[in-house]
């Protein structure tokens, strides 16, 4: 496993590679969810480059940029064991030589304004800007993103289409803990009591799925059921609970094939997101 910290070194390494290159961008705090992307990448490409970069451009000033987990040595060991060919671990100055707000910005309209884009208005611009920069540095054939961040995945796909980028974006399924909680680097913020309550997201999803399977298909009814379930079983402060089309991120009156249930909420200071297909 090769560790690269400079753009020039990454580019030289990329030029030296023969065969296809898979890319897995992460912010570190590596868990099984990230490792599943590496596994998928290894099954489809000859070389897998992982980036570990806590992107300052996607955090608002009041958010957790400073406290975000940065266990680099552990992350490196996990990625080495998983079979990644190289880790790109740049500083902020490498990615944003003119400062995070002064260089070119990439913004995908419309769907960036839905769901997470309401509470975090600059989030997806920060994500697209860093992913575009990383794509240009890594020049991957395929890039792997988790469905855990389903809206992000769709936004990146649109960015790639709109800008004619030469990379195929591949979505990978959500990896969950045995009790159903979607894996996330932020789960370590949870107190034991909050960690226990967090399982109610998946329980709530299953409650909605069972209603849906019994023929209830009014989207407002189903999302109200999730809200009521979480209100009665946990102290979640709801950000959103919505059933939306996964291409347009628009809501229909009745569930239509391919719709997903999206959730975001706070337990204490920790914001958790999750989603599930209604099928
Ligand atoms: P992050 O480090 O949180 O920015 O995530 C890096 C990549 O890992 C993104 O494409 C995420 O969607 C993906 N990811 C994070 N958690 C999971 C999970 N539980 N299952 C699958 N993919 C995940």
The four Cα atoms 16, 74, 272, 150 give a dihedral, to 10 degrees, of: 20
What's the distance, Cα to Cα, between the start and end of the chain in Å?
Answer: 40
Residue linked to tokens 């060991």:
77
3-state SS class at 257: coil
**Is the C-beta atom of 135 inside 6 A of ligand 1?**
no
- What is the token pair recorded at 79? 């990625």
pLDDT of residue 153: 98
Q: What is the mean pLDDT of the chain?
A: 98
pLDDT reported for residue 39: 98
Contact 271, 265 (CB under 8 A): yes
pLDDT band at 99 (very low <50, low <70, confident <90, very high): very high
pLDDT per position as a tens digit, 21-43? 999 999 999 999 999 999 999 99
CA angle 76-58-133, nearest 5°?
Answer: 70
Q: Are strands 260-267 and 237-244 parallel, antiparallel or unpaired?
A: antiparallel
Under the banding of pLDDT at 50, 70 and 90, the label for residue 178 is very high
User: Percent of the chain, pLDDT > 90?
Assistant: 99
* 151 — pLDDT class (breaks 50, 70, 90): very high
Q: Kindly report whether the global pTM for this prediction surpasses the value 0.95.
A: yes
Q: What is the pLDDT of residues 107-124, one digit of tens each?
A: 999 999 999 999 999 999
Confidence at residue 77, expressed as pLDDT on a 0 to 100 scale: 98
Number of H helices, E strands in the chain: 10, 9
Tracing tokens 């030469």 back to the chain, one arrives at: 166
Q: Residue of the nearest CA to atom 6 in ligand 1?
A: 26
> Can 62 be counted among the known catalytic residues?
no
CA 156 to ligand 1 centroid distance, Å? 14
Whether 184 lines ligand 1, by a CB cut-off of 6 Å, is: yes
Q: What is the mean pLDDT of residues 178-206?
A: 98
In short, whether 175's Cβ falls inside 6 Å of ligand 1 is yes
Provide the pLDDT for residue 204. Answer: 98
CB 226 within 8 A of CB 202: no
């Amino acid at each position: 496993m090769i560790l690269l910290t400079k753009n020039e070194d990454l580019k030289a390494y990329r030029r030296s590679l023969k065969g296809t290159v898979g890319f897995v961008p992460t912010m570190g705090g590596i868990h099984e969810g990230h490792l599943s992307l590496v596994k998928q990448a290894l099954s489809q490409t000859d070389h897998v480059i992982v980036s570990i970069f806590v992107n300052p451009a996607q955090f608002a000033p009041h958010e957790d940029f400073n406290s975000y987990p940065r266990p680099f040595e552990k992350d490196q060991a996990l990625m080495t064991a998983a079979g990644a060919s190289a880790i790109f671990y740049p500083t902020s100055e490498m990615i944003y030589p003119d400062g995070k707000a002064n260089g070119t910005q990439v913004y995908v309209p419309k769907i960036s304004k839905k769901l997470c884009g309401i509470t975090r208005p600059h989030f997806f611009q920060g994500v697209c800007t860093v992913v575009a920069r990383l794509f240009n540095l890594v020049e991957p054939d395929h890039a792997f993103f988790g469905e855990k961040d389903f809206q992000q995945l769709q936004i990146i796909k649109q960015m790639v289409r709109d800008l004619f980028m030469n990379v195929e974006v591949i979505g990978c399924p959500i990896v969950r803990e045995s009790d159903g909680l979607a894996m996330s680097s932020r789960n370590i913020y949870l107190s034991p009591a909050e960690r226990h309550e967090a399982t109610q997201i998946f329980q709530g999803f299953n409650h909605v799925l069972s209603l849906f399977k019994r023929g209830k298909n009014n989207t407002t009814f189903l999302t109200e059921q999730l809200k009521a379930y979480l209100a009665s079983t946990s102290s979640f402060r709801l950000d959103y609970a919505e059933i939306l089309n996964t291409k347009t991120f628009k809501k229909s009156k009745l569930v239509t094939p391919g719709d997903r249930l999206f959730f975001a909420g706070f337990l204490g200071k920790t914001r958790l997101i999750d989603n599930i297909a209604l099928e």
